[in-house]
Structure 1
């Protein structure tokens, strides 16, 4: 439903690992756990210390790597991305990580979750200076800024480039010999770091650590840059002007209930929102139900606070994919019918409180009601 908001492209997922012989395979599983953050495209870039290998494509991670492509991506370090496409931002060339090869200075791969508000302005400036863009993704702006930076070391080139960006961003940058992680000065996107044995792991959500068996260390700080290589991990600041303000949609809609953001469990946060909703909008009813999946936690909280029993009033068909063709409004509504079914025995003839967290145009809500 959120895709109906023009230009909303913040719900992507990034995953990176350094210092593990099966880095691409672990990245695959990490991205699988972040699939809810984007279903339009996926990709992995890995390094063996000398060269970068990559594979990406449109669709789900299982579709992109269904023909054994993962075995061709080799290395001890890897970064991956699942993409939530924007209006006008689809297409293979926009699938990340973006990979830039250079004969002289080594290669560079980029994965980004966020939204740069000054991307268009920077793009115009760079094009006026002779840059040629290969994608319509705002992520590519950073690559051009890095390559045009007058600084000598990559670390300083990135710091200088990040200081020009405005907006929300969690970046994973990889060369042949290191992985660099950066979070915007407001910490608008979630980003955590963990350990898997001696390997460092970075992910948009902590649920990815649970899936791959990594131990959570801490959140990446706003305005912080981490340099991870064979010598270990070093933390530096690229901005001192920090003001922590995580995007509230992470707690409401984007993140998986089993993830923790800023030390707060997402399911618990949603449940508390449901309890507050009960205080603000209590009504007499027989059952409470949530629209699967992200509203369920809030509905449980509402039920708990009011004493009205929570019931599974709606069942979601997990096999109606994003590829379902919907050329007309009538077929769109048919799509909703296929995706969600009311449990007649539970709701028929009852007064139902339905909690929904993703009302955009209201067409789906009307159909569910």
Structure 2
């Protein structure tokens, strides 16, 4: 059995187990008969995913409902500055997976809201994620079409069939799906929809400084442009502007090594939470990074972006163009685009082969 076949078999078995768990829980948690004026949104994705879904918090939703937004507990800091009307509900994913008491208690918490509608906005929907929406007891459960390959078609179609509505199967881009949602479900004219920050990061005031921000990492290694190439860009920027490196505490040491000796580069990995990083990004001349959560934050803050992206799910998140956004995306086009990280090569050439000179020329032209 090849590694690819083992990978597919593992996914199938995991989904099969999750499906039986869902069917078992469904025996005890059926659709409710009475409903309130509560509406629930679910996105259990990464920072980039919930940054996109925060479009719902940036725009004035009808006052007919009370809104609740379920996210993963480890990303709660993204909403530290948020003081809007939508209630943030934290989900501890490890407890939900391994602790049956927590799992049933969390489902009951959602059901106690007696939601009229429950929208599952998660991009990479899995069965356990679908379970949250489908067991919510909502009068109407709605989800985005699942265009990913991480579910076998058997399970994907089956889980879709449990929803009352599956939205936008012909639209791949997640930003555009959310814009369609605001327009078609909530009646907000498309030209009035805000993509940029209004309420999420209140401390981020646009006061441009002479630096660029650099986020050289991503949650998936295949998305990352080589650190040495980022270092080359920084060397070439000497005398033109300062560079602030953003990342996690675990990434501090490697950045200290790669970018050592560059007096115009400041290593801030692990020094800022997401709202603080958003403030720094909002004041930058430009943000440079990979396909990562901080690139989504930069778009949200209205900061010009230079992003190195790959073809693993090209078009699903990036490239994204909008009248509020100034962005340039760099990638090497290949026939294997759409692999969803199941790369057939020893490395992701669509990312790694993007040239330093090409990226630098754009940054230099923009700064001048």
**Interval of TM-score (by shorter of Structure 1 and Structure 2):** under 0.3
TM-score normalized by structure 1? 0.26
Of Structure 1 and Structure 2, which has the larger fraction of its residues in helix?
A: 2
Tell me: higher relative CO, structure 1 or 2? Use CA pairs within 8 A at least 6 residues apart: 2
TM-score normalized by structure 2? 0.26
